[in-house]
Structure 1
Amino acid sequence: MKQIVKNLTHAFRRFKMANVLNIVGLSISFASFIVIMMQVSYDYNFDKGIKGYEHIYRVDIVHGGGQKQAVISRPFAELIFKSSPRIEAGAISNPFFGGELFFGIDKAGVISYYKEKSIFVSPSFTNVFHFDIVEGEKDVLNEPDKVLVPKSMAEKLFGSETALDRQLKLSGKNIYTIGGVYRDFPRNSSLQNCIYIAMPENENVNNWGNWNYNVYIRLNGNNPVDTTLLNDNFRKNLPEDLNIDFSKGSLQFTQLPDLHYTTDVLYDNSPKSSRQTIAVLFAIAFVIVIIAAVNFMNFSVAQTPMRIKGINTQKVLGATDTGLRLSLLAEAILISVLAYLLSLALVFLVSRSPVADMVDMDIALRSYPVLIGMTAALAILTGILSGLYPAYYITSFPPAVVLKGSFGLSPKGRKLRNMLIGFQFVISLVLMMVAGFMYLQNRFMQDSPLGYDKDALIVTDINNNINQSRDVFTEELHSFSGIEGVAYAQFLLSSSEQYMGWGREYRGKNIQYQCLPVDPDFLEVMGIDVVEGRGFRESDKDTENGVYVFNEKARSDYDLELNHRIDDAEIVGFIPDIKFASFRTEMAPMAFYVWGTQNWGRSANYAYVRVKAGSNLGAALQHVKEVLDSIDPDYPFHVRFYDEVLNQLYEKEQKISALITLFSLIAIILSMVGVFGLVIFESEYRRKETGIRKVLGSSVGEILALLNKTYLITLSVCFVIAIPIASFAVIKWLENFVFRTPIYWWVFVLAGLAVLLITLVTISWQSWRAATANPVDSLKTE
């Protein structure tokens, strides 16, 4: 071991650049591997941190035409729960209500205000999902006005004091009492760490047409779910007088972890990823390590001309080939282990850098002991595999030949190195092409026409105080000359996958559409054109049942006609198919709706403020904040420009795209470092040839062309190979989006030109040094 360390120290002193590049390259690759695998683990194990996840399913409806939806009416849910003895427990949640709860807490006579996430669920929710209770009882949702809060929120609100029986005071006289505190669910979980509130016991209990609930069941036993039997039992229990034809429909049972990858279901608000993205990240993680290992091998081989005399001198003095090879292999392993230890420090630094914002999980080494151990084993394996060939190659030359001052370059060795360099080129090209299309898809989603005017638009959430003073609020906003119009709506347009789903009867058949309640000024403020009929009028609020304006998709799917009625609400107009949801989902039937006098919902949740062209947007935003503060100074309103809404909607894609782009660049840089290592080897091996050519009259340009020709030919072949590989990967990834960017040919060309430019810069510098060297220095040993 002492001799190995001595040899390694000597090698570091003599070949500083090569060894520094080796250690830096390997440490970056191991750090990249750890960070990427953290993200892969986050998505792969999504929802698997919930106890008993393998027995929990969400129940979706599959309509006769194949369309799926994640929301079901409450009476349907109750029938599902009773349909089989295998269903141990069932529960529902309402994804459209709850949101952020604004409340006050009395602390020694002083009211402190908070705004926290909440969700309404049935009391049986804690029977389906395991809540690890640290204070109180899990069944408190059966008690009136009792709620469950996560431990992190309890500590935020009350510090080290107990949260049990503390009161959350809402506006008016409403009060919730904390009946239980549960241990936080993992970050990679569909269950939110929020306030869980029991929905009213009789809410829509007999309303078959109100499709607003996600339905979950827990099955007993370990056998796979028999969906056919569950569907048959469900149909048998349907009331005969039910005005819904379910003969062609069915129930779909999706196991909890699979929800993370399910993208073909309407009204599905569970967090999403794609198996293709996980596969891409997984591949990149190993590709980066492989590239670094290849580079390690290349630099070791590149040192052959400089180390070969010393190695063979040891042979003459009695050293065996086996002993020398084991010594060189041990050097490689030590370098790899040293790089691994450095990579742990790099991961720690990454956790405190902007890169941490690109991933969903917490970058903390202590949270991934298995991954850290696996990477250590990978580092040792990398050292072994990367050191085997150079150790064999350097010791393969006869001492007599080497000590005369020359050695050979075997055709097989040269072919292997060209194959390795080709592998690096293909990977670099594929990653750059894929990263290019990911960027274009993100741009496409953000910049494509939405069917309404999103520019110069400010949005803010509003509360009950603003709703009660809406006329005053609107008037105060218009006191700023730059404000052109103000509109109100229940939902924030283009902020979600789907919205409130309504099932209604039209001409004797049941129709399903997404309903977005708005005020009469909404279409005008948003710049949405009416293609037939009319827009909303102020007088529509005074009708008994309100009025609809549907999109073209709804009209074509259900043969809707102007002036016809749906549950006594008149259809007054049609608009184009605007992008009211995300680009991940298909265009769905939808309607804007103005409430009538007999409807249950008249309050808005959001205000849309249109700013005049040429006005100061910053001043307008500040004015909106000041007006809100003057009406309700305690409430933390979220005022922002509309572009921020779209950025948040596609935040996941932007993060993954940035992550893949970053590590693609790392892979490309590492590949070029490998090319640099081989160029060093080639130039050292061909020094005498270069010197002879110069003596015989070859110019520097001719020598540069000769030295670069092999790499350019290899790159051209790799470019042709990379195109179909990248195309396949891009097409599979784009399948996650209904609306997607075209496959532009110029992206492939630009990627090829970028890698070509990097390659030319890399190889030309070393080749130029060889081409301009004094031929006397390379020929004097002959």
Structure 2
Amino acid sequence: MIWYYIKTALRNMRTNPKFTLINVAGFAFAISVSLAITLFLLKEYSYDRYNKNYRQIIRLTDAKKNSSEIDYRVKDILLQHFPEVKNACYVDCYNHPVELKYGKEGTYLHTGAMSVDPQFFNMFSVPVLAQQTATPFQDKNSVVITESTAKRLFPNENPLGKELDVYDIYPVTVSAVIKDFPANSSFTANFIVNAQNDNFKFKQAIGNSDDLSTYRWPFEIYVQLKKNEKPEQLIAKINAHKELLKPYVEKAGFLPLKDIYLHDPTTGVSNRKGNAKLLQLFAAIGLIILILAVINYINLTVAQQAKRNKESGIRKTIGASRKQIIGQLVAESTLIGFSAFLIGTLLLRLMLPAYEVAFNTPLNFNILYHFPTSIVLLLSILILGLVSGIGPGFVLSGINPVKILSGTTFISGKKNYLRQSLTVFQFAVSVILIVSVLIVRRQIQYVKHQDLGFNQEQLLRLDIPWLKDQDMNKTSVLASELKKSPYIRDASVSQGVPGDIRFDLGYKNETVPSIVADSSFIKTMGLHIIKGRAPQPSDFGKVCLINETGYKHFGFTNLDNKRFNNYGGYDIIGVVNDFHYSSMRKPIGPAFIILASKGFPNAISIRLSANHIGETMKFIHKTWQNVMPGYPYKYEFYDDWFNSMYKSEERLAQTMSIFALLAIVISCMGMLGLAIFAAERRTKEIGIRKVNGAKVSEVMAMLNKDFIKWVGIAFVIATPVAWYTMNLWLEDFAYRTGLSWWIFILAGFLALVIALLTVSWHSYRAATRNPIEALRYE
């Protein structure tokens, strides 16, 4: 019987090649997109689960401060006082690459780095390829490098025991080589230093005095629990004895290792962070696109009903049961689904590079060959075939064979209503996706043109690498030389700039983003003093400024006797206007601008004249070569730099546009199917109307009016759903565009135009058909 079903299905597919091609193409594209989304979801949800102990590892947090930055000394307190803890370590992932140098000739490499407690290698699954001693770190000056870094620095040498210079200042020795962290790891470093080496405590200490014993050194604390211990019970016990962790933690919290990548609400130092909402959105889109393809198949199958009515009637007359007719339709849909799956898989393989660009991550195609995945996919094809075939099967098998053979068959109102509802659903999805694309693109434009609080026009950032001790004064020399150009209005040396603040200094037991700069910084950036006074060159090393938000946040009513006590102390002499020092996703928080030479300058901000940009850029490059010979020359304009912060949103807009286009194409196929059905069902009526003098435009209006009504209903349904969905997405931005009514009207209008263009072609053919042929139609 099954073989008979397959033979009949193949015959029907051959006799209806256009119908088969449309269905297979629709399913194939839907399956290709859905499989790509599945690969992306599998990758994102697998983060950090490669660690053998991932179920027992948690990261400690300070729930009151919503922060994962905790003093490293908490590790020893946990091991001493809480027997539930099997092991613990502390980690600091650097926000910026470090510069490594090997050999007198100077093989330079800029790479990601982190400092870790030696216990890190016992807690996490880090395969060691080679090491000098029993442990990866031989001593405090030992470092561990990844396999790829070893090949780049020592292509033909044994890296063990080799000496590297970090920033050409700190000598370290390679004591071990590990495999690169996998692509689904939250850690991305290629260079790992011993956190017990004081030279590499790049994270600034938090404190309010010059007594270093009162300072806190923030790291991330990872805790491995003993088997069967519950993290909730440990945290409750810690909070019951919170005096043990004072002053380091106010209220303990935790986050499982497996949840850090996607569900980390804290501020911390982990390298990678995913977006759980985005994954849910993509999962929904993948499922909806498959549903659209199924609906498309049902509509096209029912649209061909007139050609299959007699077949069904004859089969029922000679004894075929309703179950057998449904089985035949299910066999056809399964065969089409299997063919589409093979083509869709091939499309996925061919388009994998494009999908990787869209998702901004490598995808593992080979995972589809794994046994569990293959079984799930085969079951999915069977379910897809069952769902796609059972609906048309019930429709065709439910018609009275006497009516079929007498030529009086018709489609009942309920079945017609179901088919129309499916089409309404398709276009409701299309409207939602069109609205989503329009709002995402509008939000991108909004944040790109938002006032940043400083003048980013003709403002250039010149990156300063980590300098040798004897070259530290060259930064100020370079700034002075640059100011000699008549086309450079000003220049300022700083450690940290808007969009790249590297200092988080302590004030009133809080971490506050801080920029250390010279006295030209305010003028160069185009900031404004709104209270107090502007700094003078004579103030250097004595004063600082605070932004408006910080002034209000710390409860200031005036600046009398207000001091910032880090590193000897600075008088707070003025309040500057709020300026964005990170993306628009975050609200502006407190910030300090410190007039001092603490830290290593990492940038020169240069204010250019509007004219002679090309000539000025040549002058800057030549001046750099004269003052900084041998150091890499790198610059970026501030407006380009801030715009680059929204690359993920731009990729989302591009991906959503592709998904929306595919959904619209599939929906149009379903709409075309209904147009074919409507024209065939009303063929004689059209002929009679034309004989009685009906115009082509009148016939087209008659055929198209129902489609206009369905799109209108789809618009009404889609509008509140789209509003809710996009409002939820916009919540990730502290500064966001409004959900204007015209966006929804435009989306509905576009959907209507697309629908009319789709059905009008077939309506026109039906309206211009010879009425004699129409009257002969059976």
Maintained 8 Å contact 2:62/2:70: yes
Maintained 8 Å contact 1:81/1:217: no
Tell me: CA distance 1:171–1:583, structure 2 relative to 1, closer, same or farther (3 Å).
Answer: closer
Tell me: CA distance 1:148–1:479, structure 2 relative to 1, closer, same or farther (3 Å).
Answer: same
Instruction: Provide the C-alpha distance between the structure 2 equivalents of 1:641 and 1:111, rounded to a whole number of angstroms.
Output: 30
1:639 matched to which residue of 2?
A: 635
Instruction: Provide the C-alpha distance between the structure 1 equivalents of 2:76 and 2:612, rounded to a whole number of angstroms.
Output: 55
Instruction: Provide the C-alpha distance between the structure 2 equivalents of 1:325 and 1:754, rounded to a whole number of angstroms.
Output: 38
Tell me: CA distance 1:266–1:98, structure 2 relative to 1, closer, same or farther (3 Å).
Answer: closer
User: What letter is aligned with 1:101?
Assistant: V
Maintained 8 Å contact 2:102/2:164: yes
Maintained 8 Å contact 2:137/2:176: no
CA deviations over 1:562-585 (Å, ceiling 9, x no partner): 252222311011012211122222
* From 216, 225, 228, the counterpart of 1:222: 228
Instruction: Provide the C-alpha distance between the structure 2 equivalents of 1:757 and 1:483, rounded to a whole number of angstroms.
Output: 53
* From 482, 501, 504, the counterpart of 1:501: 504
Tell me: CA distance 1:344–1:620, structure 2 relative to 1, closer, same or farther (3 Å).
Answer: farther
Q: Which sections of structure 1, spanning at least 5 residues, go unmatched? A: none
TM-score by length of 2: 0.89
Instruction: Provide the C-alpha distance between the structure 2 equivalents of 1:273 and 1:103, rounded to a whole number of angstroms.
Output: 29
CA deviations over 1:188-207 (Å, ceiling 9, x no partner): 32211321112344566954
Maintained 8 Å contact 1:621/1:639: no
1:103 matched to which residue of 2?
A: 100
User: What letter is aligned with 1:755?
Assistant: A
2:578 matched to which residue of 1?
A: 577
Shift of 1:267: 4.8
1:701 matched to which residue of 2?
A: 697
CA deviations over 1:428-458 (Å, ceiling 9, x no partner): 2222223332223333332211101122222
Identity score, percent: 25
1:259 matched to which residue of 2?
A: 260
Shift of 1:712: 1.8
Instruction: Provide the C-alpha distance between the structure 2 equivalents of 1:268 and 1:714, rounded to a whole number of angstroms.
Output: 51
CA deviations over 1:116-152 (Å, ceiling 9, x no partner): 1112233333344332212226833351322112223
Instruction: Provide the C-alpha distance between the structure 1 equivalents of 2:452 and 2:420, rounded to a whole number of angstroms.
Output: 50
Maintained 8 Å contact 1:150/1:183: yes
1:351 partner SS: helix
Aligned ranges for residues 277-676 of structure 1 at < 5 Å?
277-310=278-311, 312=313, 323-353=324-354, 355-368=355-368, 369=370, 370-371=372-373, 373-398=375-400, 401-403=403-405, 405=407, 407-463=409-465, 464=467, 467-478=472-483, 481-495=486-500, 499-505=502-508, 510-541=509-540, 543=541, 546-560=542-556, 561-562=558-559, 564-567=562-565, 568-595=569-596, 601-616=598-613, 620-621=616-617, 623-629=619-625, 631=627, 634-676=630-672
CA deviations over 1:566-617 (Å, ceiling 9, x no partner): 2231101101221112222233211111226xxxx3421122222211333x
Shift of 1:486: 2.1
User: What letter is aligned with 2:359?
Assistant: V
2:215 matched to which residue of 1?
A: 209
Maintained 8 Å contact 1:298/1:678: yes
Shift of 1:346: 1.1
Tell me: CA distance 1:467–1:36, structure 2 relative to 1, closer, same or farther (3 Å).
Answer: farther
1:59 partner SS: strand
Aligned ranges for residues 758-773 of structure 1 at < 5 Å?
758-773=754-769
CA deviations over 1:12-41 (Å, ceiling 9, x no partner): 444332221111111110111011122222
Tell me: CA distance 1:195–1:201, structure 2 relative to 1, closer, same or farther (3 Å).
Answer: closer
1:44 matched to which residue of 2?
A: 45
2:97 partner SS: strand
Tell me: CA distance 1:374–1:655, structure 2 relative to 1, closer, same or farther (3 Å).
Answer: farther
2:550 partner SS: helix
Shift of 1:284: 0.8
Shift of 1:758: 0.9
Instruction: Provide the C-alpha distance between the structure 1 equivalents of 2:69 and 2:107, rounded to a whole number of angstroms.
Output: 36
1:722 partner SS: helix
Tell me: CA distance 1:566–1:81, structure 2 relative to 1, closer, same or farther (3 Å).
Answer: farther
Instruction: Provide the C-alpha distance between the structure 2 equivalents of 1:732 and 1:435, rounded to a whole number of angstroms.
Output: 14
Instruction: Provide the C-alpha distance between the structure 1 equivalents of 2:383 and 2:718, rounded to a whole number of angstroms.
Output: 28
1:132 matched to which residue of 2?
A: 127
Say whether 1:118 aligns with 2:123.
Answer: no
1:233 matched to which residue of 2?
A: 241
Q: Which sections of structure 2, spanning at least 5 residues, go unmatched? A: 206-210
Shift of 1:518: 1.9
Maintained 8 Å contact 2:443/2:737: yes
User: What letter is aligned with 2:219?
Assistant: Y
TM-score by length of 1: 0.89
1:778 matched to which residue of 2?
A: 774
* From 141, 147, 153, the counterpart of 2:149: 153
User: What letter is aligned with 1:540?
Assistant: D
Maintained 8 Å contact 1:36/1:281: yes
Which piece of structure 1 moves more, 767-776 or 195-204? 195-204
Maintained 8 Å contact 2:683/2:777: no
Instruction: Provide the C-alpha distance between the structure 2 equivalents of 1:101 and 1:512, rounded to a whole number of angstroms.
Output: 24
Say whether 1:719 aligns with 2:725.
Answer: no
Instruction: Provide the C-alpha distance between the structure 2 equivalents of 1:197 and 1:397, rounded to a whole number of angstroms.
Output: 76
User: What letter is aligned with 2:662?
Assistant: I
CA deviations over 1:707-765 (Å, ceiling 9, x no partner): 22222222222222222222222222223233322222222212111111111111222
2:130 partner SS: strand
* From 678, 685, 700, the counterpart of 1:682: 678
1:113 partner SS: strand
User: What letter is aligned with 1:390?
Assistant: P
* From 66, 88, 91, the counterpart of 1:90: 88
Instruction: Provide the C-alpha distance between the structure 2 equivalents of 1:76 and 1:536, rounded to a whole number of angstroms.
Output: 40
Maintained 8 Å contact 2:84/2:229: no
Instruction: Provide the C-alpha distance between the structure 2 equivalents of 1:2 and 1:76, rounded to a whole number of angstroms.
Output: 70
Q: How many residues align?
A: 754
User: What letter is aligned with 2:124?
Assistant: F
Which piece of structure 1 moves more, 744-753 or 648-657? 648-657
Say whether 1:175 aligns with 2:206.
Answer: no
2:135 partner SS: helix
